[in-house]
Structure 1
Amino acid sequence: MMKFVLLAATLLAVPAMGSAQAQAPAAAPAAASLTIDSTIETIAANPQGKAILDAQFPGMMAHESYPMFKGMSLKQVQPYSGGRITDEQVAKVAAELAKLK
């Protein structure tokens, strides 16, 4: 548990690593179904969703610990981020996801 807390706390503090394994999603989810409660992986599987995450959290998908937190929503990861994922950022992502058609 402590390892996870430390991982989450450094989620955005550590610069993105140069090489990350790219995983092609089987099928991108419909944009209309994406919400702030969707997993990070589900949002990132959609090109528009990925662009929204990249705008707020550059390098998140390239982070070496991405496999450990990708199955969580931003709201779930936020308490472990040590303030690096702010309410304002979560609200911006939510607003942008709501605009997707």
Structure 2
Amino acid sequence: MKKSLIFGALSSLATPLAAGMALLAAPAAAEKPAALSTELPLESLMANEQAKAVVLKHMPGLDKHPSYDQMKAVSLRTIMPYSQGRIKAETLDAIDADLKTL
């Protein structure tokens, strides 16, 4: 009798559990790509030719900076406080405004 109670309880959980697992396993249909912004890693922006043009319009030569390889994995917003004033919030706001038009 105890076995039937345990199996009954387990089987009542099986259907919702299976449905939940199916949702987790299903690929996300039509996920919207992240909007381009200065919150994205720099390398993500530079991988998009239009976004790269915007960044370089406001920050010419950034891709040639000696520390580019070290900083490309983080966002411009993250880099800003460490730039000793070279990267200004106004510049990043202008980049974001231009990126929204893409």
TM-score normalised by length of structure 2: 0.64
User: How far 1:34 moved relative to its partner?
Assistant: 1.2
Q: How many residues align?
A: 71
User: How far 1:75 moved relative to its partner?
Assistant: 0.5
Structure with the higher fraction of residues in helix conformation: 2
Q: Residue 24 of structure 1 corresponds to which residue in structure 2?
A: none
User: Larger relative contact order (C-alpha < 8 A, sep ≥ 6)?
Assistant: 1
Q: Residue 90 of structure 2 corresponds to which residue in structure 1?
A: 88
| Letter matched to residue 71 of structure 1 | A
Q: Residue 21 of structure 1 corresponds to which residue in structure 2?
A: none
Q: 1:96 to 1:32 in 2, by over 3 A?
A: farther
Q: Residue 66 of structure 1 corresponds to which residue in structure 2?
A: 68
Q: Residue 44 of structure 2 corresponds to which residue in structure 1?
A: 42
| Ranges in structure 2 where 5+ consecutive residues have no aligned partner | 1-32
Q: Residue 53 of structure 1 corresponds to which residue in structure 2?
A: 55
> In the alignment, is the contact (CA less than 8 A) between 1:39 and 1:72 conserved in 2?
yes
Structure 1 moving runs of 4+ over 2 Å: none
Distance 1:35 1:87 in 2: 13
User: How far 1:74 moved relative to its partner?
Assistant: 0.8
Cα RMSD of the aligned pairs, angstroms, is 1.8
Distance 1:85 1:64 in 2: 16
Give % identity.
37
| Ranges in structure 1 where 5+ consecutive residues have no aligned partner | 1-30
| Letter matched to residue 77 of structure 1 | I
